[in-house]
Amino acid sequence: MYASPYKFIFAGILFGIFVILGLGLAFVYYNGGYSGENSAFRLTHLKKNTYRFGASRLRLDQQTADSKNWIAYGLKANLRRMESDGVIKSRLFAQLLAKLGGYEHAIKSGVYTFSNKESSLQILKALKAGQEAHITFTIPEGYDIFDIDTKLFSQKLIQEKGMFITYATSPKALKEIRRAINIGDSTALVSIEGFVYPDTYRLRLSRPHEDILALGLKNFQAKLLPIFQQNDVPASKWVSYLTIASLVEKETAKTDEKARIASVVFNRLKQRMKLRYDPTIIYALKVLGLYADSLTEQGQVNIQKRHFGLKSRFNTYYYRGLPLGPITSPTKSSLLAALHPEESQYLFFVAKKKGDQSLGHDFSLNYEDHLLKIEKYKR
């Protein structure tokens, strides 16, 4: 007798059910079930469980000092590392899921951080959505691009010191500034200094350089650009005012004396006196690559007469007029001081306590009084 065809149909249905149940059980076993929270990526820079996918605009070794955790680019290589790190239990299952779910060729390049709390499906969805790992990065007031570079290096966001400087002075970065704020090609720019507003930013681990500029510029547009516009300052003069504001920013942290500091700048410029500002020597040392060798055991630069002759266009002891460009990115109060300096005849000032801006400065009308005050505050 021939078997009824319905038996074969019934057996096929049962086999399909068992296959589906088996795959489901395997998924739960290999991936620890579904997580109730949407934790596709972490916001902090973790040395472990960090993975790079796809190509990058900067070479891999330019992105992080933690190179041993950033060696894989492709899906298979990264899944192999995830399995080794304990993030997933089976790379083969994850590869199958990626192929069947259409994720294999939909992954966005970048840097991602995962833990073993995410399922393979959640990880693949995060990769498809481009939910990259981020880090919170603070640029304090008074920081220059060299300070930012040092901080990036200390947090292992760049492989070597100087990499951010290279980007900050690159034609690509300067072109982005011109495009973003329409400053014009006739205005000379030497770096992004002055255009990265000091603040706390959330950076992608894959592109910290570009995010610092993009987010800093956005902050510049929100906080400083309106000041220029409200005061009818033409774009051709923005860099000059930013430079003056940066001198004010580096000289004092006291908002109530910033306008007076700015008045000294303008008074000396009117009389064609060299500005002779100490912060410009320090910046010149950084530009010339001499800063590290000039530090004392306390980590400070002891400015000496030999520094006065540094041949850098940032050194206002050697060259007359403003430095070549800003020496930091100024805050709103410093820019307002540069645009609205106090009416005074002061030509000199000295810090009441060296290395402590909180006590402010003592101002003088002439050099003789200035020398007396220097001696006074040496005691």
Q: What is the pLDDT of residues 24-73, one digit of tens each?
A: 545 444 443 333 322 222 333 335 677 778 744 334 334 443 444 444 46
184 and 102: one domain?
no
Q: What does the pLDDT read at residue 3?
A: 53
Q: Is the pLDDT of residue 10 over 80?
A: no
Tell me if 189 is assigned to some domain. Answer: yes
239 and 346: one domain?
yes
Which amino acid is present at 134?
H
Give the dihedral of Cα atoms 148, 152, 154, 157; nearest 10 deg.
Answer: 180
Q: What does the pLDDT read at residue 146?
A: 97
Report the C-alpha gap between 53 and 182 in whole angstroms.
34
Q: Is the pLDDT of residue 99 over 50?
A: yes
Res. 77 pLDDT band, cuts 50 70 90: confident
Q: What does the pLDDT read at residue 345?
A: 97
Q: What does the pLDDT read at residue 182?
A: 85
Tell me if 10 is assigned to some domain. Answer: no
Tell me if 311 is assigned to some domain. Answer: yes
115 and 193: one domain?
no
Report the C-alpha gap between 114 and 82 in whole angstroms.
9
Report the C-alpha gap between 102 and 267 in whole angstroms.
68
Quote the strand ranges of the chain, DSSP E.
50-53, 110-113, 134-138, 200-204, 348-351, 361-364
Tell me if 8 is assigned to some domain. Answer: no
Report the C-alpha gap between 363 and 264 in whole angstroms.
9
Q: What does the pLDDT read at residue 85?
A: 86
More confident residue, 328 or 354: 328
**DSSP letter for each residue of 155-187:** TTSSSSTTHHHHHHTSHHHHHHHHHHH---TTS
Domain count, the chain: 2
Nearest to 127 by CA among 159, 152, 105: 105
Tell me if 330 is assigned to some domain. Answer: yes
Q: Is the pLDDT of residue 361 over 50?
A: yes
Boundary residue ending a domain (87, 103, 132): 132
Res. 340 pLDDT band, cuts 50 70 90: very high
Per-residue pLDDT of 254-282, as tens digits, reads 999 999 999 999 999 999 999 999 999 99
Tell me if 24 is assigned to some domain. Answer: no
Report the C-alpha gap between 337 and 341 in whole angstroms.
5
261 and 354: one domain?
yes
Boundary residue ending a domain (132, 166, 184): 132
117 and 144: one domain?
no
Q: What does the pLDDT read at residue 377?
A: 86
341 and 368: one domain?
yes
Phi, psi of 359 (to 5 degrees): -85, -10
Q: Is the pLDDT of residue 4 over 80?
A: no
**Domain containing 65: what range?**
34-132
Nearest to 120 by CA among 104, 102, 97: 97
Average pLDDT value for the chain: 83
More confident residue, 297 or 336: 336
148 and 77: one domain?
no
Q: What does the pLDDT read at residue 47?
A: 52
Nearest to 250 by CA among 208, 270, 272, 279: 279
- Percent of the chain residues past pLDDT 90, beyond the cut: 51
155 and 121: one domain?
no
101 and 245: one domain?
no
On whether the pTM is more than 0.85, the answer is: no
Q: What does the pLDDT read at residue 157?
A: 87
188 and 93: one domain?
no
Q: What does the pLDDT read at residue 338?
A: 98
More confident residue, 13 or 220: 220
Per-residue pLDDT of 271-318, as tens digits, reads 999 999 999 999 999 999 999 888 888 788 888 889 999 999 999 999
Tell me if 232 is assigned to some domain. Answer: yes
Lowest mean pLDDT among 20-24, 225-229, 361-365: 20-24
Res. 353 pLDDT band, cuts 50 70 90: confident
Res. 178 pLDDT band, cuts 50 70 90: very high
Question: Is the separation of the CB atoms in 322 and 244 below 8 Å?
Answer: yes
Boundary residue ending a domain (81, 115, 132): 132
Average pLDDT over residues 137-163: 93
173 and 309: one domain?
yes
Tell me if 26 is assigned to some domain. Answer: no
194 and 231: one domain?
yes
Residue 262: partners with Cβ closer than 8 Å, 6 or more residues away: 244, 245, 248, 337, 338, 341, 342
